[in-house]
Structure 1
């Protein structure tokens, strides 16, 4: 199978490496520094047990470099940040045949709809990626645990396409599962992405510090429950994702805060450790862009559309967006739970 992977971040590199190692013809679109490294040395994959394996996907730095005398790809994997997806989708639409399916793997809410507008919903396969991966340096991707994988769903089921994609990833050492409702799948992944994410970025602390702090945990639970109320209004139920029992998490978070904290905080803090969450990494890059609008911001936006409010998520999104845009001083929040709790109206 021929696959074009658009984006060489941690997710794109892991997927490209696994598919290439399974003898598929993989084209990886990467920036020049990563492309040169992979061409010269191969794509290094750090396994959870410490082993390092290498894969050799073909690397390009522009879709214009795809050879017109070759067959088109059978699948395009859009492995870019949510804020980069609109440009990527337009690029893909210009360069790739209209019938080629496109897999969207972005966190949060809104990316699939953006892809539908350009490509048509029948071409889009929604995905949720749950493996814990990072990119230590260009051309080297690290997979930190064996648990996790990829969930797949279609807005318009198309024969056996979903089954074939599940088989493709499973045979390439990426656990895969099919979901019947793409919206429930994406909102379930959103629930996972919410925990100790925006708050860690704003406070400049680790996930463990947030989850083990009683007042901050109550704030996390409040944001989570706002998302659950929006899901109920949309008639969406949580679904389990590869490696993550989301339904069990949703039940535990519905319990009174002290009990929920006992059941969740220590385990989640241990599992997340000191690894910086995605929104903290976005903020640290200093590029003025963040996915918080697709996470907490999306919950607040959809809540308003449904005649509801999600004030904690709105406050978290507003505070982080101000930091990302340079409109607020990070010193006002850094290591200051009281300041963030006050911003969220949770001082009592």
Structure 2
């Protein structure tokens, strides 16, 4: 299968390495020419869960036309980069290919559908833990399944969906098809609502939330608000979201959340697509979300500090 991956961050690099190792033709599409040049000249180093170093030479390009039409395009960029990524999809999907978003938050599917329509889109979620240590060097920090399914409006056939699931399984990943992918998307969102913003503010690793009662109380309150918002919107996520958040913290104990990685790297975060979405939906559905509103405001203020140069509070 010919696969394009838009976004060589931690997760994009991880999937590229594993899928290429399994024999798939994989292409990485980057928007930063200097990073593209680095990844073309140097091997990607993946530190496995066992602490083993593995090197991969990947196909990395700066422009979509250098890849051409693909069978599958994975979108792994940050939520605020989805619009730019979606603009590349018409060429990559030109011969009837399928696009799969494996991003955090909600709203990404709608952005992609505005460009290519919903018919050939798939949604996926994963709780895999991967940390970007530096350009071209990542660490696999925690196991987790990859769930893939058809969102509303998708017309991807059962055969195609099952083939994609088997491709991920062939790469040694715990990949499963799910009939209600939007419930799974919300399951992941509920976990991110609790873990990401709190770890980004406190600099705690995921597992440390479990031994920091003050941080856990805030994360739990944010999840409870998001749970009520999901129910009010008609979504039926899995029960006991706090238990599931605890399990993810345990499974990815040594991992820095993606939002904490962004803060430490002085990058824009995905707060708008995670806690910010809960606040916006809460307003529409008349569900109180004061903890999520506060966390969103604090992360926004932290981002402003990064831009203005007040970075000493997050130095390593």
TM-score with structure 1 setting the length: 0.79
My pick for the range that moved more, 180-189 or 318-327, is: 318-327
Kept after mapping to 2: 8 A contact 1:323/1:329: no
Shift of 1:150: 1.3
Task: Summarize the alignment of residues 204-243 of structure 1 with structure 2, pairs less than 5 Å apart.
Answer: 204-207=203-206, 210-239=209-238
Larger Rg: 1
Task: Summarize the alignment of residues 151-190 of structure 1 with structure 2, pairs less than 5 Å apart.
Answer: 151-155=147-151, 156-159=154-157, 160-190=159-189
Please state whether the residue corresponding to 1:144 is helix, strand or coil: strand
Distance 1:56 1:24 in 2: 13
Task: Report what 1:108 is aligned to.
Answer: 105
Distance 2:77 2:242 in 1: 32
1:132-180: CA deviations, max 9, x gaps?
11222222332123x2131111122522222111111001112101111
Task: Report what 1:339 is aligned to.
Answer: none
Task: Report what 1:148 is aligned to.
Answer: 144
Task: Report what 1:250 is aligned to.
Answer: 241
Please state whether the residue corresponding to 2:119 is helix, strand or coil: helix
Please state whether the residue corresponding to 1:135 is helix, strand or coil: strand
1:293-344: CA deviations, max 9, x gaps?
111111111122222221111111112112212399999xx69xxxxxxxxx
Task: Report what 1:81 is aligned to.
Answer: 78
Distance 1:139 1:206 in 2: 22
Shift of 1:33: 4.2
Tell me, yes or no, if structure 1 residue 92 matches structure 2 residue 89.
yes
May I ask how many residue pairs the two structures share in their alignment?
308
Runs of at least 5 residues in structure 1 that lack an aligned partner in the other structure: 240-246, 254-263, 336-348
Task: Report what 1:18 is aligned to.
Answer: 18
Cα pair distance change 1:305/1:61, threshold 3 Å: same
1:124 to 121, 124, 129: 121
2:263 to 270, 273, 283: 283
Kept after mapping to 1: 8 A contact 2:46/2:137: yes
Shift of 1:50: 2.0
1:249-292: CA deviations, max 9, x gaps?
52648xxxxxxxxxx86x776655464322222223334x2201
1:296 to 271, 275, 300: 275
My pick for the range that moved more, 275-284 or 189-198, is: 275-284
2:304 to 318, 325, 328: 325
Runs of at least 5 residues in structure 2 that lack an aligned partner in the other structure: none
Task: Report what 1:259 is aligned to.
Answer: none
Distance 2:170 2:204 in 1: 39
Cα pair distance change 1:158/1:268, threshold 3 Å: closer
Distance 2:308 2:212 in 1: 23
Kept after mapping to 2: 8 A contact 1:18/1:55: no
Task: Report what 1:9 is aligned to.
Answer: 9
**Superposition RMSD in Å:** 2.8
Distance 2:263 2:202 in 1: 11
Distance 2:10 2:52 in 1: 17
Cα pair distance change 1:139/1:217, threshold 3 Å: closer
My pick for the range that moved more, 147-156 or 207-216, is: 207-216
Shift of 1:43: 2.9
Shift of 1:9: 0.9
